[in-house]
Chain A
Amino acid sequence: MKTFLLALLLLTGSVLHAQTINVQVGASTLFNAEGGSITLYTANTNETIGLGVSNGRIVAGANSEFISRGWDITAGDKNVFLATQQLGLSTTLRGLQAQHKTANSTLTVFSGLVGDAYSTPFFSGAEAHAFGTGFQFTRKFHNADLSSVVAYTNGKPTILQGAVWHWRGLELQSTGGLLERRAYVIGSASWRLNHAAFDAGRQTLIWQGERSTVSSGSASTWFGPVDAHATAYSSSLAAGQTVGAGLHVGPVIVRGDAFLAKQRSLSSSLTVRFSRRWSLSQFTTRSNGQTAVNFGGSYTSNLVTASVGYQQQFIPFSNIPFQKVLSVTLAFQLPHGTTVNLATVAAPTGGTRWSAYGGSYVQAPWLPATQHAGAQAHAKIGGYELRGVVKDQFGVAVAGAAIVIGKETIYTDLQGEFIARVKKNAAVDLLVDVDSFTAPGSWALVSSPTCASPGDPIQIVVRRK
């Protein structure tokens, strides 16, 4: 609660600068939580504060996101996920996270207190007591990606190294190392052909301290309207196989699947798409000598998206590995950016949980910027002009180049020209921010003055890397 009051105090000043406020509220049996959050969009920062009740306890969280010198920085509460392509450290941070991206690499660093998160689509809070720090570095090469994660959280070290190698349709992935002092070696291979695909993998799932390593292999093929697949799962807790086939002719889709585990079950579905908006489905399941028939459907429009259906999912933490799961999605898109969502999710131990949440954007009514502008008088435009042009090495104008003059970032127009207005007739610092160009591509600076005065002809040359 102290955190919430402190965050509220800090954000009070930001409210006056906020142009737009996003409000989210909701409730969920999946998270056993009710609550809401407010995000303030100011000119340079996004600040979020959340408050709710989770498992009977009041939880709160707050953070501020901003960009400084090419680093994307979050101060406050944040869910940190430092991962190789397959496995990663997930924790909740109350501190500072910074991320810097270039064309071929990403570096993320964090430091602060780590602990437990209360995260829902409509609010998030944190409880953090232990020290944590670490980094993730990912580097892309021509045919491969390499990722490293090094961290120290809750008094436990994490050192993971991951690699992905791809060549035409073949992709190999592997990750090994320590994740909070536990040793992991996982990997997967997939091979995609024109009419077939083969996958093999070994992954580790963790739920409430329980760990299950699942090995799986699958083959699938498709030719015209027909497709078929076969998959086998094996874990320390459960094992199962599934085979199935489908046929897609015009608006009709027919599927049949068999699930073989401790018990056998067969399922089939028939879906008819009546139009771009409407479709209806029938699901038939036979298990333990009993047959169940269910119906579902979906409807899509600009105002509402709704779907009801059943899926057979592999749930390794349950006594019954394959379970029929009800899947409901209902999303309203109301005017003024308002959304309302209702969705069900399969719980990791089986059963269905639901979440209902929504949000809206509210314009800050106290700002003159929200008033209708017109040919009414405003403050006289004074000061001095700095004019310049940005071109590439061939003399072609670069539109959307970002130049930092003093503390302001300005952008070039279609002719590559820019005009900045300064108060004093004195030299100001000038920096070309190639990472913030709106022009796509990787850019490098060739030549630019480091400072300029009003009246100076500023010539900046950049080149594509």
Chain B
Amino acid sequence: MKIFWLLILVLSSAVAASAQTVGPLLAEGGKGRARGEFVVTNNGVQPMVTTVQAMTFKLSPQGESIFLPLDTNNVVVKLLETSAKIGAKQNHVFAYEVQCMSQQPCLVAMLPRMVTGLHTSEGLQIGIIVPHSIYLCADRAKDCRKRVRLAAGVPAGQ
């Protein structure tokens, strides 16, 4: 029984990271250009394939994101990788560069679509998408996201 309590003591003291599945959820930048990255964490015990798709989004007055195809006339998005197979309990960093060609703020969402499990001959493919939202303003002023939300009519604090 001594061993059992020793076991509990050893395991309780083990340090483990508690990461969110996608983080950070938000990024903002100025001067019309941003380099950033986000981490996708597989908290499961099976491999997880993640594909990343860049889309433009706009905000409704209620603060909801409305996703649209990437506005390639005004935004240039480069992703270091667009997909990765993430092992059990592992994470993967997706790096990106976004350039906004417009004087208006560019709102870009990186949409990592996470599919867990190995290939099966039957079944339904279920993907979970948790967006990483980027607010990019042309000027150098701070609080790009706050200003964009106010301009969209989203009440402060919502």
Asked if B80 lies at the interface with its beta carbon under 8 angstroms from chain A, I say: yes
Cα separation A368 to B37 with both chains bound (whole Å): 12
Q: Are A381 and B29 in contact (CB under 8 A)?
A: no
In the bound complex, residues from chain B placing their C-beta under 8 Å from that of A439 are 125
Q: Please give me the residue from chain A that is nearest to B24 by CB atom.
A: A374
A contacts with B, residue count (CB < 8 A): 65
Inter-chain contact A360/B14, CB cutoff 8 Å: yes
Given A369-B91, A400-B125, are A381 and B4 neighbors across the interface (CB < 8 Å)?
no
Residues of A within 8 A of B96 (CB): 381
A118 within 8 A of B: no
**Which residues on B sit within 8 Å (CB–CB) of A374?**
24, 27, 36-37
Contact A20 B49 (CB under 8 A): no
Q: B89–A337 contact, CB under 8 A? A: yes
Closest CB of chain B to A139's CB: distance in Å? 14
Cβ of A257 under 8 Å from chain B:
no
Interchain CA distance A337-B83 in the complex, whole Å: 26
A378-B14 contact, Cβ under 8 Å, with A438-B125, A440-B125: no
Residues of A within 8 A of B23 (CB): 372-373
B53 touches A399 (CB 8 A): no
Query: Which one of B57-65, B100-108, B112-120, B149-157 is at the interface?
Result: B112-120
Q: Which residues of B contact A442 (CB under 8 A)?
A: 121
How many interface residues does chain B have, given as a range? 35 or more
State whether B87 touches A369 (Cβ < 8 A): no
**Does B11 contact A27, Cβ atoms closer than 8 Å?**
no
Q: Per-residue CB proximity of A343-384 to B under 8 Å, as 1/0?
A: 000000000000011111111010011101111111111000
Pick from A361, A372, A381, A419: contact of B89, CB under 8 Å:
A361
B141 within 8 A of A: no
Question: Which one, B16, B29, B49, contacts A438 given CB within 8 A?
Answer: B49
Q: List chain B residues, Cβ under 8 A from A414.
A: 51, 53, 113, 127
B158 within 8 A of A: no
Does residue B147 face the partner (Cβ distance < 8 Å to A)? no
B142 at the interface (CB under 8 A from A): no
Q: Which residues of B contact A440 (CB under 8 A)?
A: 119-125
Q: In the complex the two chains form, is A23's CB within 8 Å of B14's CB?
A: yes
Q: Which one, B17, B51, B121, contacts A103 given CB within 8 A?
A: B121
> Complex formed: what's the CA distance from A437 to B119 in Å?
6
Is A211 among interface residues, defined by CB-CB distance under 8 A? no
Residue-by-residue, is A322-359 near B (CB-CB < 8 Å gives 1, otherwise 0)? 00000000001011111110100000000000001111
Q: Which of A430-446 contact B (CB under 8 A)?
A: 435-442
What are the residues of chain B within 8 A of A334 when measuring CB–CB? Answer: 11-12
Q: Does A41 make an interface contact (CB < 8 A)?
A: yes
Q: Which of A400-427 contact B (CB under 8 A)?
A: 400, 409-415, 418-421
User: For residues 67 through 84 of chain B, which have their beta carbon under 8 Å from a beta carbon of chain A?
Assistant: 78-83
A375 and B10 in contact, given A411-B51, A440-B121 (Cβ under 8 angstroms) = no
Question: Is B16 within 8 A of A361, CB to CB?
Answer: yes
Residues of B within 8 A of A373 (CB): 23-24, 36-39, 93
A residues near B49, Cβ cutoff 8 Å: 400, 411, 438
Pairwise interchain contact B82-A34, C-beta atoms closer than 8 A: no
Whether a CB of chain A sits under 8 angstroms from the CB of B139 is no
Cβ–Cβ contact A338 & B97, under 8 A:
no
Tell me which residues across on chain B come within 8 A of A381, comparing CB atoms: 35, 78-80, 95-97
Does A19 lie at the interface of the complex (its beta carbon under 8 Å from any beta carbon of B)?
Answer: yes
- The yes or no answer to B66 lying at the interface (CB within 8 A) is no
Q: Contact check, A20 vs B93: say whether CB atoms are below 8 A apart.
A: no
B87 and A41 contacting across the interface, CB-CB below 8 Å: yes
CA distance A370 to B127 in the complex (A): 24
B89 nearest in chain A by CB position:
A20
* Contact assessment for B14 and A369 in the assembled complex, using a CB-CB cutoff below 8 Å: no
Judged by a CB distance under 8 angstroms, whether B21 is at the interface is: no
Produce 1/0 per residue, B4-18, CB < 8 A to A.
Answer: 100110111011111
Q: Are A340 and B119 in contact (CB under 8 A)?
A: no
Q: Are A419 and B95 in contact (CB under 8 A)?
A: no
Complex contact B17–A363 (CB within 8 A): yes
B85 A25 Cβ-Cβ under 8 A: no
- Most chain A CB within a 10 A radius of its CB, from B16, B35, B88: B16
Q: Which residue of A lies closest to B34 (CB)?
A: A375
* Bound Cα distance A359, B36 (Å): 35
A25 and B36: CB pair below 8 A? Answer: no
Report yes or no: B78 in contact with A342, Cβ–Cβ below 8 A. no
A43 contacts B by Cβ under 8 Å: yes
Could you pull out 28 A-B pairs where Cβ atoms are within 8 angstroms?
A19-B91, A23-B11, A34-B3, A41-B87, A41-B89, A41-B90, A336-B16, A337-B89, A356-B4, A356-B7, A358-B7, A359-B11, A360-B14, A362-B14, A362-B15, A370-B19, A373-B36, A373-B93, A374-B36, A375-B29, A379-B95, A381-B79, A400-B125, A414-B53, A419-B82, A420-B82, A436-B119, A440-B124
Known: A23-B14, A365-B15. 16 other contacts (CB 8 A): A20-B88, A338-B14, A342-B4, A358-B8, A361-B16, A362-B16, A369-B39, A373-B24, A373-B39, A375-B27, A375-B134, A378-B36, A381-B35, A410-B83, A413-B82, A418-B83
A interface, CB within 8 angstroms of B: 19-20, 22-23, 25-27, 34, 41-43, 46, 103, 332, 334-340, 342, 356-363, 365, 368-370, 372-381, 399-400, 409-415, 418-421, 435-442
Residues of B that sit less than 8 Å from A by CB: 3-4, 7-8, 10-12, 14-19, 23-24, 27-29, 34-39, 43, 49, 51-53, 78-83, 85, 87-93, 95-97, 113, 115, 117, 119-125, 127, 134
Closest 7 A/B residue pairs (Cβ)? A336-B16, A363-B17, A411-B83, A375-B36, A360-B14, A20-B89, A440-B123
